[in-house]
Amino acid sequence: MKDLWNYYKGQSAGVVTMNQDSYSIPAIEAKRAFMFPEVNYELTRYFGFGMPANDKMLSIVLLYIETMSVLVAVAFVVGFIVLWSISRFNSNVNPVPYHFSKKVEAFLDTVFALLPTVLISYLLIPALGFIFQLEYDENFLETLFNVYIIGHQWYWTYEVDTKLGTDILVNLFDANFNFPILQFDSYMVKDSEKNRLLNVDKCLVLPNGHNICFYITSHDVIHSWAVPQSGIKIDALPGRLMRFVLYSSIEGVYYGQCSELCGVNHAFMPICVEIVKNQYFIDWIFLSLDTNLVANVVNSMSVSDSLSSIYFKKN
């Protein structure tokens, strides 16, 4: 556990926070996680997007690039045809109106009917495939555990139910373990020098490479939990429970903000999600819960490795 405290920033009100300012996302690991050509990875930067945290966001970026490329090409072609028609068929150059034959008119009608249909189908098929894949992920994917998000004016409350109190790891705790759910509030750090208006006192920590189910609602007004690099934007509605599944391929710190006008401090309720390795996530849970492990586990040389291997293998 010695190296663990060097990785974490400290402990505040029971919830361990991480060093958000110094965490960097390795580009090599990103390319390995996505298994996409390097040119696609670089395109995300040229089009103004941040580093995608998963394949879902990368698919959104590539779909956007492809769609915009087709629309720009269509705009140039249509603009060229309009300018050419003005210069070629104006009253000075062509005082007598030009009439096409029936065959030419039929050909032009066919071309200008089929070409837009082909372009729309070219854009529609991958978009529908992406939507259907999202529906499948929401309803049929097996998730590792649940995270509950509650929006307040103007902060977020997180409840992490990792099912650590089940028979999977119950033999690792003493008789006083009450099977708690990790719950904490996340507020913006007002005096942060880096990532101004984005750093929080307690960020949400999640394991890398697992499907995690989220349930989100609101305590007062409508909020919106949005993390652009993860491709997530879900409204938090009072009296209604919304569900989505989050999968992250790359370790790192990802920021977001409330994306629905919710009052005077709407701009000051940021979101911070940190994706870490499995063993770090298990350690974060235990340290945040202030769990009293049995002596034989504490004395082990690889606490986090042994716990994470048992938990993630079982689930």
Taking residue 305's Cβ as centre, other Cβ atoms within 10 Å add up to 14
Residue 142, pLDDT above cutoff 50? yes
**At residue 125, does pLDDT exceed 50?**
yes
Tokens of 275: 């994706």
Mean pLDDT, the chain, integer: 75
According to the model, what pLDDT value does residue 19 have?
A: 42
Fold held by 146-314:
Immunoglobulin-like (2.60.40)
* CATH code 2.60.40.420 region(s) in the chain: 146-314
Q: Per-residue pLDDT averaged across 98-121, rounded?
A: 88
Asked if the model's pLDDT at residue 254 lies above 50, the reply is yes
What predicted TM-score, i.e. pTM, was given to this entire model? 0.72
The whole-number average pLDDT for the span 60-65 is 84
Query: Which pLDDT score is estimated for 190?
Result: 84
Give residue-wise pLDDT tens across range 148-207. 999 998 899 999 887 655 544 554 454 555 556 788 889 998 887 778 888 888 889 898
Report the pLDDT value the prediction gives residue 292, as an integer from 0 to 100: 52
In the chain, CATH 1.10.287 covers 55-140
Position 312 confidence tier, pLDDT thresholds 50, 70, 90:
low
Q: Residue 287: what pLDDT? A: 77
For the cut 90, the answer to whether the pLDDT of residue 10 exceeds it is no
Res 291: pLDDT: 57
Of 2-6, 202-206, 259-263, give the lowest mean pLDDT range: 2-6
Protein fold of 55-140: Helix Hairpins (1.10.287)
Alpha carbon of residue 97 to chain centroid: 58
Confidence of residue 224 (pLDDT cuts 50, 70, 90): very high
Q: Is the pLDDT of residue 315 over 90?
A: no
- Across the range 6-24, mean pLDDT stands at 40
C-alpha to C-alpha distance for 20 and 200, rounded to whole angstroms: 9
Q: Note the pLDDT of residue 169.
A: 52
Bigger pLDDT: 118 vs 40:
118
Contact (Cβ atoms closer than 8 angstroms) between residue 275 and residue 212:
no
51 φ/ψ angles, rounded to the nearest 5 degrees: -65, 120
What distance in Å separates the CA atoms of residue 80 and residue 109, rounded to the nearest whole number? Answer: 19
> What pLDDT is recorded for position 8?
38
Residue 301 predicted with pLDDT over 50:
no
| The pLDDT value given to residue 4 | 39
Q: Do residues 13 and 238 lie in contact, with contact meaning Cβ atoms separated by under 8 Å?
A: no
What's residue 145's pLDDT?
Answer: 84
Model pLDDT, residue 28:
36
- 223 phi, psi to nearest 5 deg: -120, 175
Q: What is the CA radius of gyration of the chain?
A: 26
In SS3 terms, the chain reads as CHHHHHHEEEEECCEEEECCCCCCCCHHHHHHHHCCCHHHHHHHHHCCCCCCCCHHHHHHHHHHHHHHHHHHHHHHHHHHHHHHHHHHCCCCCCCCCCCCCHHHHHHHHHHHHHHHHHHHHHHHHHHHHHHHHHHHHHHHCCCCCEEEEEEECCEEEEEEECCCCCCCCHHHECCCCCCCCEEEEECECCCCCCCCCCCECCCEEEECCCEEEEEEEECCCCEEEEEHHHCEEEEECECCCEEEEEECCCCEEEEEEECCCCCCCHHHCEEEEEEECHHHHHHHHHHHHCCCECHHHHCCCCHHHHHHHHHHHHC
For the ranges 55-64, 79-88, 218-227, the lowest mean pLDDT is seen at: 55-64
The pLDDT-based confidence of 231 (bands split at 50, 70, 90) is confident
Strands 204-207 and 270-276: what pairing?
A: parallel
